[in-house]
Amino acid sequence: MQANDVLEPTVRIRDLKKDRVNFVLENVDLAFANSFRRVMMADIPTVAIDMVEVETNTSVLPDEFIAHRLGMIPLVSNNCDEAMRYSRDCTCLSSCQNCSIELSLNVACSESRTMDITSDHLEVILHGGHGWKEDVEDGEEMSKRVPNFGHPVGKGDPDVPPVLICKIRKGQELRLRCIAKKGIAKEHAKWSPCSAVSFEYDPHNRLRHTTYWYETDIKAEWPLSSNKTEEEPPRDDEPFDYNAKPQKFYFEVETDGSLGPQEVVQKGLAELQTKLANLILGLKSQPGDLDGFPGADQVGQQQPNGTNGAAPSGGWGGGGGGWGGASASPGAWGGATGAPATGAWSASPGSNTAGGWGAPTPGAAGWGTSPGAGSAGGAAAWSPQQGGSWGNTSPSHASGWNV
């Protein structure tokens, strides 16, 4: 049970089926195992119906109800990360064959019986059909798609029951058009390739992470799982190890058919590796590159907006004329300035002082004022003649964010 940092992580597959896999992950941290579970559920891209245009609906279900059921139908999404673009990355205006899959449904009942409309009635419209409104050249993604890409899972397979959409009677009809797009489950659960992902550790509760409520006999009322055979049971007189950590996790991954279980696990590991690599890269970046802006650590050393560098500038409440600061330098909001200081909000500038926002003085004006020729230091902010605006690159007045 004690974690060993020397051992490499290992995966041992115990059972593999068409839609599920059971495996044991060893020599990893509990946080890593849970992150792996969350990534498989929410960060692997798939294809799902995202927009529905209803032309005719005379069934008993409203349009919104049917649209929601259509969105939850799993579609074949093998190699989706390379075989399809995100809509935000595509150059088309609304949808095209590179970022969308178009499906249609046209069913009418003409017999005196109850007819089931299922996912088998959905038909994929190939590029060049009547539905596409934009003529866009095929991208390299088209060549990476499997033949049944975007089709409902299990269509044409007698061993897989279809998904029921609604039921209609004689004289009723349902005709609509669907657009399927690529996404991840963080945006909506319909893009999740998994129907259930779970893992268990410490089946004998040696770590006492679980507290069981029982009446008479805890072992009889709380039977152990099948994973109990993987570990040795603790002795009754065994002392509790406060430093013990779990290092063996028993995973059960069940998919909805849009992706195979093997592809889900492999892509989940790749996505988690990418996330950790980006985190490490961000932590190892240069000290001056904070938040992706070079030299951001020197922001505090730069002069505030509207100063020209003639006098020292300060931060909030600092001695250099910041918010509420008291100094002989250009004043700031509410600052208490000396004789040669520049005014700020509610300040009463003298003959040689520079006014704040809209101050009627000949000094270095604030926003929307026009300073005169005898400006004291020229500490202007939004002045067209002196000091410029945010991002001003005037060589004589250092003002703005990009000085």
Nearest to 333 by CA among 356, 353, 310: 356
CATH architecture, range 46-134+141-191: Beta Complex (2.170)
Percentage of residues of the chain with pLDDT beyond 90: 51
Helix 261-283 / helix 30-42 crossing angle, nearest 10 deg: 120
Measure the N-to-C terminal CA separation of the chain; round to a whole number of Å.
58
Flag the least confident range among 221-225, 249-253, 270-274.
221-225
* pLDDT above 70 as % of the chain: 67
Q: Under a CB-based contact definition with an 8 Å cutoff, are residues 49 and 122 in contact? A: no
Q: Take residue 55 and report the two structure tokens written for it.
A: 């032309």
Please give the structure tokens belonging to residue 279.
């985190």
- Of 52-61, 172-181, 227-236, 243-252, the poorest mean pLDDT is in 227-236
Give per-residue pLDDT as tens, 90-106.
988 888 889 999 999 99
Does residue 340 register a pLDDT over 90? no
Which CATH code fits 10-43+194-283? 3.30.1360.10
Query: Looking at 52-56, 128-132, 241-245, 349-353, which range is the least confident one?
Result: 349-353
Q: 90 in the Ramachandran plot: left (φ > 0), alpha (ψ -120 to 50) or beta? A: beta
Band (398; pLDDT cuts 50, 70, 90): very low
Distance from C-alpha of 397 to C-alpha of 310, rounded to nearest angstrom = 9
Sign of the alpha-carbon torsion through 31, 270, 151, 148: negative
How many C-beta atoms surround the C-beta of residue 26 within 10 A?
16
Token duo for residue 220: 């009889």
Of 353, 354, 339, residue with least CA distance to 387: 354
Question: Is pLDDT above 90 for 113?
Answer: yes
Number of H helices, E strands in the chain: 5, 14
What average pLDDT does range 39-53 have in this prediction? Answer: 96
Dist CA 45 CA 146 (whole Å):
16
Q: Which helix (H) or strand (E) holds 265?
A: helix 261-283
The confidence score (pLDDT) of residue 31 equals: 94
Cα 108 to chain centroid, rounded? 41
Domains of the chain by residue range: 10-43+194-283, 46-134+141-191, 304-403
